[in-house]
């Protein structure tokens, strides 16, 4: 595990989220969606690595994975104007994992 965050970030193979040359709302949302998808992938990989080797650390990584998955759903819904299929919400803005994270 590297000592500095820059090296750690480079290990993720996620590209930096930069303003696209053709900075339309749609293109910006695509950049952000790609960033969230990469975060979801990275936290899945972290969980694969640490699962069973520390409950608190695993729970923290799992909580972050839930958050990143929700972010991915936001951008997908904004891009497609349809529910992402990640969650079944009762009300707009409801996060089904919020209850889980607060207990
Ligand atoms: Fe995120």
- CA of 54 relative to ligand 1 center, distance in Å: 24
Task: Please tell me the distance from the alpha carbon of residue 86 to that of residue 25, in angstroms, as a whole number.
Answer: 22
Instruction: State pTM to two decimals.
Output: 0.75
Q: Is residue 59 part of a domain?
A: yes
pLDDT: which is higher, 10 or 30: 30
- Give the range of the structural domain holding residue 71, as residue numbers without chain letter: 21-102
- CA of 57 relative to ligand 1 center, distance in Å: 19
Task: Give the per-residue pLDDT at 2.
Answer: 83
Q: How confident is the model at residue 97 (pLDDT cuts 50, 70, 90)?
A: low
Count the domains in the chain: 1
Chain segment 56-82, per-residue pLDDT in tens: 999 999 999 989 998 898 898 889 877
- CA of 50 relative to ligand 1 center, distance in Å: 20
- Work out the burial of residue 36: count CB atoms within 10 Å of its CB; fewer than 13 is exposed, 13-18 middle, 19 or more buried: buried
- CA of 97 relative to ligand 1 center, distance in Å: 14
Q: Is residue 81 part of a domain?
A: yes
- CA of 29 relative to ligand 1 center, distance in Å: 13
């Amino acid at each position: 595990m590297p000592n500095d965050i820059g090296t750690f970030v480079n290990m993720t193979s996620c590209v930096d989220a930069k303003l696209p040359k053709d900075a339309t709302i749609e293109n910006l949302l695509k950049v952000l969606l790609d960033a969230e998808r990469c975060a979801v992938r990275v936290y899945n990989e972290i969980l694969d690595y640490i699962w069973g080797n520390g409950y608190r650390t695993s729970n923290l990584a799992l909580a972050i994975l839930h958050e990143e998955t929700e972010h991915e759903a936001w951008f997908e819904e904004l891009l497609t104007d349809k529910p992402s299929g990640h969650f079944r919400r009762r009300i707009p803005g409801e996060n089904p994992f919020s209850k889980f994270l607060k207990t």
